Amino acid sequence: MEGFFQFSQILWQLVSNPTNLLVVFVASLLGIGFGALPGLTATLGVALLTTLTYGFDVSTALLALLGLYVGAIYGGSYPSILINIPGTAAAAASALDGYPMSQRGEGAKALGLITSASAIGTFIGLLMLVFIAPFIASVALQFTSFEFFLLALFGILISGTLTGEGGAVKGWIMGMLGLFLATIGRDSLQFFPRFTFDQPALDSGLDIVAVLIGAYGIPQVIKVLSDTSEVKSKASASFDSMKQGFASVYVGVLEAFKYIKHVVRSALIGVGIGAVPGVGEDIAGWVSYSAAKKGSKNPETFGKGNAEGLVSAETANNACVGGAMIPLLTLGIPGSAPAAMLLGALILHGVNPGPTLTTERPDFLLEITAIMMLATFAMFINGTILAQRVAKLLTVPATLFMPLVAVLCVLGSYALGLNVFNIYVMLPFGILAYCLIEMKFPISPLVIGFILGPMADESLRRALLVTEGSLFPLLQRPLAIVLLLIIVVMVLSQVPLINRMFKKKKVVF
Amino acid sequence: MKKTTSSPDRFIAILLLIFAISSAMVASTYPINESWGGVASAWYVSPALLPLFISFCLFLLSITLFFRPSNSVWHDYFSGKASHKIWVICALVSFVYFLIPNIDFYLSSVLFLSLLVGRFHLVSDAVSKPLGFIYVVVCMFVLIALGLQHLLPLFASAPAPTLATNVADITDIIGVLGTAACIWVLHVHKVKVFLVCVWLPLLLVIGFRFLLLVPMPTEGSVILLLNEIFTQISSLFVGKGI
């Protein structure tokens, strides 16, 4: 009860400041626009906005960043529904049933459905964050350096395993490359310069924002410009055909409550998947869609404009936002790519997410919850009232705004440190990231590895310093043993010989 | 599909293998048991510990990738036109390494945006070719200006940096005016294109430079002029006590 009063107090403080309301509504609208424009992603939006919010206090900056994050995940469904091109990867599953609905003349209703589903999904994700995060944080307080090292390794490996196409090897390679990038610069224990090649600019290591903008922004610019499609004409036709029917958005908003069973189930799936490091909203959408199809009495109608499928995919991807915040705030491990960018922003603002967060800033979890609630509210209002305006955005061709995004990437990577060297790092890194993405190497493990690198390095060496190089104390700690076992099983499960043995045993039994 | 030795995954695996070995070699030069900065070290606190661990993992993973590559061939990767990709990458490289460090950020942004918008949005050769030509000419003049900057100090006491910067800036201004003229004369959707190529970078520069107080990477004639205008306007307000 005391917590509830505290939460109400924080929420009131945020709401009573008109600047905060303006920031969250504008950021949410910007996020919806970012999500809606094919080629722009939630991660890129958060990365670029981080630069602009550097001068803000933490609460206002988070209002802007979370407002944009929630808005972008929701906005990605607009082009999925209207032109069958997902605005973000998170909205890919929404296109399966959203577009056929739009073709049937129910586009506006579909937009209404996803508005409610996304809002409820984010809200359930929030509830889970409030109830689960303190428990995980209290467990994490028992962690020593060994557990932190294993946790970092686990984060990198699990994200590599789940995002690598056709096996975990490519994902793990990217994770290790991310770890390597984190070692560039002077190490924190002995201040020894590693891989700096006598370049003073590299002494402080690679700038996190420059690396993230390079990893997510530049590949997107190259990909979209070199792969231009007929998005514009398709969007114009779709927009013109539904101009008259935008009032149906309100019908859809109310109709979403008919599917409350799907909404709750998908939200729980979304939270669960969001909490796994590095696995983003796109996987949540697909898993939830598949669960809805399996549980449906009419699975044959899925892919032909079934509202259940659309609602399930949309609820899960937005619930994932709350889920991704759980490991981020309690363990310092981002649950998704935009959450990784959010972690960078929090560090820039002097907030260090992790087990000690609850002792350093006892109210922070409640503050984040209140901010996300406001962000959800802003998304819902913007989505309901401004659906027509956002849909009109789709008629802007990617070839016109992508060059501008490239300029923003350059300015974004420069502006935080006022260092031209960051731009010089960002570009080759972006080109390399583009080549690797094209060759089916996932980018999330690299980012997770880069972010968790300092934690892994420091924890490993501190742990070994305490035990004077002995690994036996690791085996005396139950938490460390559990983590180690999970890692070993995860690695062994990717070895073909062991995989085959298990399959044979299954056949025998 | 049959796995071939020319699989792109194998190529990447070999590159990674070389990378892993070379990073291990570099890391092995770091203090392991020796003291560093007066502090006695041991292998378990050595700065080489994590880099060696990463190199070892990368070594194993690259060998795994070499022997178990995916079935894809080069053609399966890199969707889209190769020429478009090279265009975008060349434009980005010239913008970042060539224009940004040497000329006014606003001018370089306008040229860069015009080049990409001309190539990918306006599409028609009638517009994109002159824009590309202007971009290349400006780059060449900047190159000459840079050469002057390095050569002139060799002769007497010529004010080389000022002269070179002026040459670069004047060329750019002419280039930007030429670009604007091209768009205005040759294309029908000039308002949209002008908005993206000319006005939005101006808004970005004003926003970052005067509202967020972020100095631009290179401040040449346009940003200095804007600064002068901004100072005059703010002095007017200060004078009136606002």
Range from A152-161, A276-285, A311-320, A497-506 carrying the lowest mean pLDDT: A497-506
* Chains A & B: contacts with CB separation below 8 Å: 171
Flag whether residue A497 sits within 8 Å of chain B, measured between CB atoms: no
Query: Of B144, B121, B142, which Cα lies nearest the Cα of B131?
Result: B121
Burial of A269 (0-12, 13-18, 19+ CB in 10 A): buried
Instruction: Pick the residue from chain A with its C-alpha nearest to B114.
Output: A403
Tokens for A315, please give them. Answer: 């609820």
pLDDT of A317 above 60: yes
Q: Are B122 and B193 in contact (CB under 8 A)?
A: yes
B36 touches chain A (CB under 8 A): yes
DSSP β-ladder status, A193-194 and A185-186 = antiparallel
Minimum distance, in Å, between the CA of residue B14 and any CA atom of chain A: 13
The sign of the dihedral angle between the CA atoms of A285, A286, A289, A295 is negative
* Residues whose CB is less than 8 angstroms from the CB of residue A463 and which lie 6 or more positions away in sequence, other chains included: A144, A145, A146, A149, A474
B100–A423 C-beta distance less than 8 A: yes
Task: Give the whole-angstrom CA distance, residue A231 versus residue A237.
Answer: 10
- Among the partner-chain residues B9, B80, B196, the one whose CB lies closest to the CB of A400 is B196
Domain ranges of chain A: 2-476, 477-509
The count of other CB atoms within 10 Å of the CB of residue A467 is 15
Q: Specify whether the CB–CB gap between A411 and A143 falls below 8 A.
A: no
Residues B12-23 have a mean pLDDT of: 94
Please give the residue that has the higher pLDDT: either A248 or B189: A248
Average pLDDT on A401-423 reads 85
CA pair distance A425, B48, nearest whole angstrom: 24
**Helix, strand, or coil here: A194?**
strand
B204 touches chain A (CB under 8 A): yes
CB A82: neighbour CB atoms within 10 A? 28
Give the ipTM of the model, two decimals please: 0.85
Summarize the confidence of residues A359-374 as an average pLDDT: 87
Substitution target from A410, A422, A495 for chain B, most B beta carbons within 10 A = A410
Closest CA relative to residue A189, chosen from B81, B46, B134, B93 = B46
At A156, which amino acid appears?
I
Q: What is the pLDDT of residue A230?
A: 47
A219 pLDDT higher than 60: yes
Mean pLDDT computed over B212-235: 83
Give residue A41's pLDDT.
77
Partner-chain contact A190 B8, CB within 8 Å: no
Report yes or no: A476 at the B interface, CB cutoff 8 Å: no
Q: Give the single-character DSSP code of B80.
A: S
Query: Given CB atoms, is A295 within the 8 Å cutoff of chain B?
Result: no
Q: Tell me which chain B residue has its CA closest to the CA of residue A184.
A: B51
Radius of gyration of chain A (CA): 23
Distance CA A281, CA A314 (A): 10
Contacts within 8 Å (CB) and 24+ apart, A195-200: A195/B23, A195/B26, A195/B51
Residue count (chain B): 242
Joined together, the tokens standing for residue A107 give 């586009």
CA dihedral B12, B18, B19, B22 (to 10 degrees): 180
Q: What pLDDT is stored for residue A43 in this prediction?
A: 82
As beta bridge partners, residue A194 has A185
A502 or A218: whose pLDDT is higher?
A218
Please give the structure tokens belonging to residue B93. Answer: 């490289």
pLDDT tens track for A63-116: 999 999 889 888 888 888 877 767 666 777 788 888 888 878 788 888 888 888
Work out the minimum CA distance from A148 to partner chain B, whole angstroms. 14
Gap between the Cα atoms of A232 and A236, Å rounded: 6
Average pLDDT over residues A315-338: 85
How close, in Å, is residue B156 to chain A by CA atoms?
32
- A189's enclosing H/E stretch is none
CB contact under 8 A, A464 and B44: yes
**Which chain A positions have a beta carbon within 8 Å of B117's beta carbon?**
399-400, 403
Report the candidate in A315, A409, A403, A217 with the shortest Cα–Cα distance to residue B121. A403
Burial A416-428 (b: 16+ CB within 10 A, else e): beebbbbbbbbbe
Q: What is the pLDDT of residue B59?
A: 95
Token pair for A499:
């995989």
Mean pLDDT over A257-280 rounds to 83
As beta bridge partners, residue A185 has: A194
Indicate the range of A215-224, A357-366, B66-75 predicted with least confidence.
B66-75
B161 and chain A in contact, CB less than 8 A: no
Please state, for a pLDDT cut of 70, what percent of chain A lies above it: 92
**CA dist., res. A190 & res. B199, Å (int):** 50
Q: Nearest CA to CA, how far is A192 from chain B (Å)?
A: 7
Cβ contacts (< 8 Å) between B85 and chain A: which residues? 222, 226
Q: Quick one: which of A406, A416, A435 has its CA closest to A54?
A: A416
**Residue A242 pLDDT > 70, yes or no?**
no
Per-residue HEC secondary structure of A5-64 comes to HHHHHHHHHHHCCHHHHHHHHHHHHHHHHHHHCCCCCHHHHHHHHHHHCCCCCHHHHHHH
Cβ atoms of A195 and A184 within 8 Å: the answer is yes
Residues of chain B positioned with their CB less than 8 A from the CB of A231: none
Residues 6+ apart with CB under 8 A from A384: A112, A115, A249, A250, A253
Measure A315 CA to nearest chain B CA, in Å.
31
- What is the per-residue pLDDT for A428? 93
- B39·A190 Cβ contact <8 A: yes
Residue whose C-alpha is closest to residue A459's, from A180, A203, A188, A192: A188
Give residue-wise pLDDT tens across range A112-140.
888 888 899 888 888 888 888 887 777 77
Closest by Cα among A406, A303, A234, A363 to B112: A406
- Residues A26, A65: Cα–Cα separation, whole Å: 11
Distance CA A463, CA A450 (A): 20
HEC letters along A399-419 = HHHHHHHHHHHHHHHHHCCCC
Question: Tokens for A47?
Answer: 């990365």
d(CA A439, CA A224): 16
* Tokens linked to B30: 């770091």
Residue B105: is its pLDDT beyond 60? yes
DSSP code of residue A474: G
Look at A226 and B92 and tell me if their CB atoms are within 8 Å.
Answer: no
Give the domain ranges of chain B: 8-76, 82-239
Residues pairing with A193 in the sheet:
A186
Read off the tokens for B10: 């194998």
- Is any Cβ of chain B less than 8 angstroms from the Cβ of A246? no
